[in-house]
Amino acid sequence: MSLHFQRDLDKLKKEILLIGGLVEEAINNSIRALKNRDAELAQAVIDKEYIIDEKEVHIEEECLKVLALHQPVATDLRFVVVILKVNNDLERMGDFASNIAQRALFLSEHDPLPDLLEFIDELPKLVQKMVRETLDALVKMNAELAQKVILADDEIDNINRLMHKKVNETILKDSTNAERAISLLSTSRYLERIADLSTNIAEDVIFMVEGKVVRHELDHD
């Protein structure tokens, strides 16, 4: 491998870790804005979404340059392909963080719903842990930690299903709560999608480290 090629691969790894940090910050801030009813912080997340979008485009361009200039094979090709996929998933996670911030902005202007306050703490906390461990697995190329992330997704799905039930009960009890309840349900769905994308990245880490495709295998199980 040429020195120039190795330098380009190292640069890609640094870039993907940078966008990962930006996305994690956006997710954490959107959740904090939701919990604390912080409209200013929610708006800041929305306003900064373009930074993640621009970084995603830049990384994609760099990956395509590496493919064109160096024509990598075997492990190196697998690395670049995974970077492309992870880059896209991270950008989408940033989109969902912005969506959560938009809901937080709306909810900050209305009274909280006591019956759904537990959700605002439990599900976001689990998703934050998943995102943190996913990025840690990516940094360390740790397939074992990536597997742990994949297994955690079921708990997120179960909580989201329970959230659907609670929202329906809240609306049936008092229809004036419908708009706020539906906003929280949307937030639940966005968090679930972030967890799904974290799972995708964890599966890609396993593919990068072990060369093994686990996505369909796990779906079948």
Structural domain harbouring 28: 3-220
- The pLDDT of residue 195 is above 90: yes
CB 45 within 8 A of CB 97: yes
Which contiguous run of DSSP H or E holds residue 17?
helix 3-36
Of 115 and 33, which is predicted with more confidence? 33
- The pLDDT of residue 138 is above 60: yes
Domain count, the chain: 1
The mean pLDDT of 140-157, rounded to a whole number, is 91
Q: pLDDT band at 221, cuts 50/70/90?
A: very low
Count other Cβ atoms within 10 Å, centred on residue 90. 28
Which contiguous run of DSSP H or E holds residue 77?
helix 74-107
pLDDT in tens, 52-104: 999 999 999 999 999 999 988 888 999 999 999 999 999 999 999 999 999 99
The mean pLDDT of 136-152, rounded to a whole number, is 92
**CATH classification at residue 189:** 1.20.58.220
Length of the chain: 221
